Chains A and B, each alone.
Chain A
Amino acid sequence: MATQEAAASAKQWRRRERGVTAGLLSAPMLWLLLFFVAPVVYVALYSLGGIKLFPTDTGVISLEGWRRFLGGGSIYLGLFWKSVRMSLTVSVVVVLLAYPIGYFLALCVRKLKYVLLLVIIVPFLTSFLLRVLAWKVMLGDRGVVNSLLVSLHLRPANEPIEWLLYSQFTVMLVLAYVWIPFVALPIFVSLDNLDRSLLEAASDLGASRVRTFVRVTLPLSLPGLIAAFVFVFVPTIGEFVTPLLVGGTSGYMYGNAIQDLFTRGLDWQSGSVLAMFLLIVVAGLMAVFGRYVQVRSVAAD
């Protein structure tokens, strides 16, 4: 009897516990399923032609859109590789610039390290559009840099340095500017968590600073380094706002093609194919490198 009662009450307790968990999770999960998972699945189906949204849509599932995109001579695929090259360049430059910053804050500063870290990160947390706009104002033909050079009689009037704005260089410069603060963070976290006694041990055993860095510090901060790289590469590969503002025609990126297909070209099916391809690439990158990206390090610990 007693055991039966105990079993019954345990069962009841378990059911209640499960109810609490379901109560906590139902609203967030419902929101994400309806407004995050469903739309993405919908785009995937649309890219296959499986949905009839406009009169011109066939509504017949086929791989035609994908074949056109992946087939030889597709301009979009070429554009994708161009964006990959630009993104890779930006990521490498940014990580190289941010590493010394993370190193400095984690290992050379004692009291003020979090204050200085905040100084670096704050620009990242404010308007993205605004930071891009600032560069547009700086680099335009009649912008701050060119007009300053003219005012200082360093350059003749009416002969602005044209490549300053609307070039691939500008896009990469601005992207690097935008992402450096964010990337300093995972590098800082991995170096800050490093066990100092390992460095002391290396030094006691007679290793020089360079050797200690190459054999101890650098390998131990590698996960942070990879995370940093992913943190820049993933968002910049799908970037479209920066090239739109400062890129001109030569800075046109893959993301711009997607946006144009949806807003101007009105070829939503090709646009969906391009968007899904981008999503697959990003998901692939995360599957390979995701284990280095500890989400927690984003929280600025």
Chain B
Amino acid sequence: MEIATSRAGRVSLTVFFWLLVIFLYLPIAVLALFSFNDGDPSFPLAGFTTHWYGDVLSNRILVTALGRSAVVATISSLIAVTLGVLTSFALLRRRFFGKPVVSALVFSPLVIPYLVFGISLLLLFTLLDKVLTQSFGFYFGLGLHAVVIGHVVVALPYTILTIVPLLERLSVSLDEAANDLGANPRETFRRVTLPLLMPALISAFLVAFTLSFDEFAIASFLAGSQQTWPVYLFAQLRVPSLLPQLIAVSSVVFIASMLLVVSAEIGRRLAERRYGREYAARLV
């Protein structure tokens, strides 16, 4: 006898599951559908067109905003992954006093409301602006650098959560073997640990990248006049004539980030499984 469900229960759960999948994907599918509609996003459909996509390319401000988001996301993810690797090694391979405090600190950005964090940095940068710009004539107020700084903080826990599972499976004996073969710690890291860790690093980078690229709450307080893509999108929603263009870009961004995230997930899983098998083989 199947214990978890009866036959009828199983069927109804299957139906429920697929209904929920439809509920989750339908609004997005509708959005994508209307990006090809030659008119307002409403029924009846006015005919097929791709001109909204063409319009996007000639919309300078929009393209600039997308570019800014790409830059912010690249820089912040590179920093977040670097800090994430360092923290993961410390948490997993070192013994030190105050480890629970460190771990609570690095994971607390997962639960802090982005609204509160955003205004905290807004206050900080307003102060920095006042002190630094006025005293030293060197600008450090709001802008993309502030967004990068904020995004690194919120992406850091996600990178650690992506790196730690794989690092856990990498045996310390590999390091010891490299050491016995005459490699110094730096060489060991560069030629043994880093290549083995690469799938997790790429995956962590992609996760951090998508997080930053789409992030609105923090960026809205910190971007100042340099609007990133989500901030621009939000501001332009009030302009109905722009809506089809925004929908077109959104559909592309959605599909791109979906592909990124899925490939990151698959890569990470494959690597973990491979190392897991090697780990199991060693135990036998």
Contacts and interface: CB of A to CB of B under 8 A. Distances in A.
Contacts of B221: 262
A165 to B, nearest CB: 13
A36 B151 CA distance: 11
A79 interface: no
A28 B84 CA distance: 8
Contacts of A116: 17
B5 A275 contact: no
Contacts of A129: 214, 216, 230, 233-234
Interface in B62-93: 79, 82-84, 86-87, 89-90
B280 interface: no
Given A118-B262, A134-B28, A209-B3, A46 B123 contact: yes
B109 A39 contact: no
A40 B108 CA distance: 12
A268 B28 CA distance: 37
Contacts of A212: 3
Interface residues of B, number: 92
Nearest to B126: A53
Nearest to B156: A28
Contacts of B157: 295
B116 A279 contact: yes
Nearest to A40: B120
The binding surface of chain A is classed by DSSP as helix
A33 B111 CA distance: 17
Interface string B18-48: 0011011101101100100000111110000
A77 B164 CA distance: 41
A125 B210 contact: yes
A148 interface: yes
Contacts of B261: 122, 125-126
A120 B30 CA distance: 18
B102 A29 contact: yes
Given A24-B89, A177-B24, A142 B40 contact: yes
Contact of B112 (A123, A131, A147, A282): A282
Interface stretch (B50-58, B135-143, B252-260): B252-260
Interface residues of A, number: 95
A24 B94 contact: yes
Given A144-B30, A262-B122, A199 B3 contact: yes
B237 A127 contact: no
B195 interface: no
A235 interface: yes
B210 A108 contact: no
Majority-rule SS of B interface residues: helix
Greatest chain A CB density within 10 A among B16, B24, B165 is at B24
Contacts of A252: none
Contacts of B114: 238
A277 B16 CA distance: 39
Interface string A262-293: 10000010011001101100100010000000
B16 A101 contact: yes
A202 B24 CA distance: 36
A237 B27 CA distance: 24
A241 to B, nearest CB: 6
Contacts of A268: 123
B155 to A, nearest CB: 11
A133 B31 contact: yes
A279 B138 CA distance: 33
Nearest to B124: A39
Given A144-B41, A151-B43, A32 B106 contact: yes
Interface in A133-154: 133-138, 140, 142-144, 146-148, 150-151
A299 interface: yes
Nearest to A262: B119
A43 B221 CA distance: 14
A212 B4 CA distance: 9
Given A36-B153, A199-B3, A28 B16 contact: no
Contacts of B122: 262
A172 B69 CA distance: 29
B110 A295 contact: yes
Given A134-B31, A144-B43, A295-B161, 13 more contacts: A28-B86, A36-B108, A39-B123, A53-B123, A53-B126, A114-B269, A119-B21, A128-B214, A137-B31, A177-B27, A202-B3, A245-B234, A299-B164
30 contacts: A24-B86, A31-B83, A32-B106, A37-B105, A39-B123, A40-B112, A53-B123, A53-B130, A103-B13, A116-B17, A118-B265, A122-B261, A125-B210, A127-B250, A129-B230, A131-B27, A133-B237, A135-B27, A138-B27, A142-B40, A151-B43, A180-B20, A202-B3, A238-B116, A245-B237, A258-B119, A262-B119, A262-B221, A268-B123, A301-B165
